[in-house]
Structure 1
Amino acid sequence: MNKKFDSIFNEDHLGLLTLPDATEKSERTPEEQRLINSFEEINNFYEENGRVPELGSEIDEFMLASRLQGIRNNPQKVKTLLPFDFHNLLKCESSKSVTVEDILGDDPLNLLNVPDMDDSVFSLKYVKKSDRIRPEYISRRNKCKDFDEYETMFNSVHEDLKYGRRKLTEFKEQDLEVGKFFVLRGILLYLEKSSHTLQKEEYSSGTRFRQDGRTRCIFDNGTESDMLFRSLYKALLSDGFGVSEVEEHASQDVQIDENDVQNGYIYVLSSLSNNPQIEGIENLYKVGYCKGDVTGRIKNAVNEPTYLMSEVKIVLTVRCYNLNVPYLESNIHNFFKEVNVAFEVIDKNGDKHYPREWFIAPLSVIEEAIKLVVEQKIEKYTYNSKLGTIIKI
């Protein structure tokens, strides 16, 4: 039965077809605006790269990936950002909503029909209250009214991380000091002050003394928190990193004199193979060493299994002085052993070879690792392949 549009609108008693006045705009809080701005950076990344940021990447991308993960896990943030989610970045796996009535109604064995509610499964009288960290408290942050006093400092630390003057380090309890920087869930924070003291706590297993008290944490998104010292420690231990002090040696020139002995070159090569299985591997590099000219060393690459029987391209060479060659080779290869690619190459005679000097890692990370080898400091660091970054042990 056909109805006129006027009739349809007149019978809209619930106002479902009434459009809101386009001129009416809800005022956003400063926190909401900062959230929107931070999400806009993720949108921009997607538009520029055609993909969402990933955790196993460089520092900037890692922080965007952690930020997106945090947003997805916060329903309130998702609700706020849905109008700005132009690329379906907030879409999570759908789940069916199940009510208590659905559960009780689907109880063929009558297991949930308990006359005495004191004996109900909903009564947790034998369950001890957890003393674990509460994520909802960690995320309870307020606007930092004097953030402009810290903004330049945060920008400087970001630059230091980007150019290798600072590094992410494995978080340890002794590192938690006032005046230091940390990364918590992808967000840079500064521990501005702490009033923690040694406090006595009684447990069934005995008495313990722990440091606790209020802190003031400034975050680089313009918020701050007064979370407990112990809560901050647990949060960083669970999902955080330390930030090293500035390493000035990164920008210092190495002086060479007539007493120095040249060992040779560390070189980094990329493959020019047309083999789809090799061509499709991103950030695939060979790290090797030679005493003479690198160009001469790779002249016959198409016939050598170590170069995957294909042409290669020189992407980096580093001249070495006063280095123990076995130290150099073993350390650089051990450092990247988690991302070593085990190729099986068949030469022109049909013989099988297994070159072991090919690795999957960003070129910037390989260059940084070579620098640590040359400075003989690589034992103090480890490569985290999931994050795609070097971390101080």
Structure 2
Amino acid sequence: MSNSDLDDLAAELAEFAPPEKKNGRPASEERVIAGFEEIQRFVEQHGRAPQHGEDRDIFERLYAVRLDRLRALPDCRALLEQLDQQGLLAGAPTITASADATIDIDGLAAELADIPHADDITVLRHVRTSVEKRAAEEIEHREKCDDFDRYEHLFKAIKQDLKSGVRNTRSFLSQAKAMEAIQQGAYYILNGQIAYIAEVGEDFTTQYDRRDSRLRVIFDNGTESKILLRSFQRALHRDEAARVISDPDAGPLFNDSLEEGDIQSGTIYVLRSLSDHPYIAQHRDLIHKVGVTGGRVEARIANAEHDSTYLLAKVEVVATYKLAGINRTRMENLFHRLFAPARLNITINDRFGHPVQPEEWFLVPLFVIDEAVARIKDGSITGYIYDPSAAKLVKA
């Protein structure tokens, strides 16, 4: 092919060649423009400029830092001025040492390594906000609970309730309802431990105009944490196994139709021990056993003196309550949960000389048991607990 033919072919191909790039920009300027366009897209989606604040999304906080830096650099302002249809560069830098000093842009950029499209600031991994870090530190930083003896019986009762089915657990509530759920007296399972909200301090408003308060949380291992409510809430959401422990469930105790474990008619009986054990003899009028049977009470206690369940002594029946259509197991568990704080702590030797600790006797006056039965019948018992120091039922 002659040179003239080559020249003609080149001329024809030139029509399809991409136009020459005029005023080509350095890569650094292209990155600045790309970063500014990310901010512009945020503004289009949210109708406002990105803002600082620990309660803001991590990406918004990064955009806010980036925008402040672009505003502060004259070269960047000059480069982006023609692209700024939203007037974002007109404002003054807003970042302060207190607003977002915890953000380390270089550190966050390092988290983008080895990720496709690593220049995309919206792709992050393993990055926690300072709020999340502080919440985790608050949970982890616990101290010994000096008055744990005041709460230990509560945890024992909760574990018994869960075992017997009087209480159950469920997943933590949605973010929208989480604040309402965290109240004084509530129980949770956090990081495998039962947490009890012993105290809720007065509400206050944070610098970001959000409601918060200080909690005193007691854990079943004898430690406690004084933590912000919102920090505790975040800790529950981070723990995928976190659970809420429900309030006591009394029913179904009385049913129109019987289910497995129910008895057509039954008797709640209250026994008093005739043991000559010094402690029992001294407190005989207060020490009672509460049980439920579907048969005759007399037959149930016929051999009491040979059974450690009855303190290896004869007993007398001091009260009975006839019921129909009851769930025996739930009924007994309910009584045992209610009076758990007053459980008789005594060790006796069985007929073989082995030490045993009966668990179904309680230091509870008879009139309190009578009130408990009445409240079981009308369904109000779930709102009450037994206060051993006052020897009466009090509202939970």
Q: Normalising by the residue count of structure 2, what TM-score does the alignment of the two structures yield?
A: 0.33
Q: Normalising by the residue count of structure 1, what TM-score does the alignment of the two structures yield?
A: 0.33
The structure carrying a bigger helix percent of its residues is 2
Q: Which structure has more RCO (C-alpha within 8 Å, separation ≥ 6)?
A: 1
